[in-house]
Amino acid sequence: MKIAILGTRGIPNNYGGFEQFAEYLSVGLVEKGHEVTVYNPHFHRCPEEMFHGVAVRYIYNPELWMGASAHFIYDFLCLKDALKEGFDVILECGYHSNAPSYYLMRGRIKPLLVTNMDGLEWMRSKWNRPTRWLIRQLEKLAVNKSHLLVSDNKGIQNYYKNIFNKESAFIPYGAEPVLNFDKSHLQPFSLKEQAYYLLIARMEPENNIETILDGYLISKQTDIPFIVVGNVENKFGNYLKQKYADTSIRFVGSIYDKHALDSLRHYASIYFHGHSVGGTNPSLLEAMASQAFIIAHDNEFNGSVCGENAYYFTSKEDVSSLILANRDGDDMERKKMIQQNFRTVYQDYSWNHIVESYENLFMCGMQF
């Protein structure tokens, strides 16, 4: 098949979940003999002409001077270009800024247009009421105009069935089980094994960062530092830095070295996952793959991934209680939960399994 992957900030990944997904999926499909092109903004250049056999196509994106609204233009230009290239399958990652460009399809049955619907974007607390209304209209448009939908979480799949009476293929994100860790990655932050708490997230309110950090302070376990990884150069990030400036909470910024992140997760006493409106979040899978002990926000999405192999919170008081209950971090129950999460990654979330699932979906979709 000749396949295009659109709707991301491009490969190689230096941004987030969809970019990592595009990287692993595209390379995996090439290894299976397919011809794959990933669309990149013109300013995100790949060091090589090809990325592990994947063609990279650059399209102008005015984001650098227009801001976030530029993505509507960029996504339109990407799909317009892709429709000229004779692709068998176009995979759109997300619908938020992609959906208006779907009118370019004009009732086409070829190429096969598949949309990975991602999380419930309209639920993000950063949006005001008019913006939420607009996003829901875009969601409806993507549901109606796509040939096939992909949900990365059972909770998301249930949502599209219940709200739109629309079937979607359940294919989660993937993760690579991690076996090798390096304590030297703790040294730049002066950390000791099993003697710090960790959170990795974008600085957004719906990731419950403030709830987690408030709970940490209430627990009075501040002899153990709390490390927050993520870009804090936004309004909410600056607010958090100011609020916790005189505490043992340390904002260390973004880290893109996966081996360093895997080691930080593995050696943390507790890994906190506060995401609440996404589907199967890549950072949660990576924590499981890194054999971290996880305390997660209590919602359908996180619960469908970790099941009984994590502890859950809804309030800062819950966070405080869970920190106190797991102060030492060496009991058999913890080890059992860690091992079961690691096993789940092997069985259900391996990238080989994810790539095969997309390959089968594309091949079946092209037959109709």
Q: Under a CB-based contact definition with an 8 Å cutoff, are residues 31 and 42 in contact?
A: no
pLDDT for 15 equals 67
pLDDT for 277 equals 80
pLDDT for 330 equals 60
- What is the pLDDT averaged over residues 150-165? 92
Closest Cα partner for 37 from 5, 63, 13? 5
CA 314 – CA 303 distance, rounded (Å): 13
Closest Cα partner for 200 from 283, 293, 315, 289? 283
Q: Tens digit of pLDDT for each residue in 233-284?
A: 999 999 999 999 999 999 999 998 889 999 999 999 999 999 988 778 889 9
364 phi-psi bin (left φ>0, alpha ψ -120 to 50, beta other): alpha
Cβ contacts of 244 within 8 Å, gap of 6 or more: 213, 217, 251
Q: Tens digit of pLDDT for each residue in 103-157?
A: 999 989 899 999 999 767 777 777 778 888 988 899 999 999 999 999 988 888 9
How many CA atoms within 13 Å lie on the side-chain side of 309?
22
How many CA atoms within 13 Å lie on the side-chain side of 13?
18
55 membership: H or E segment, kind and range: strand 54-59
Place of tokens 């260390």: 252
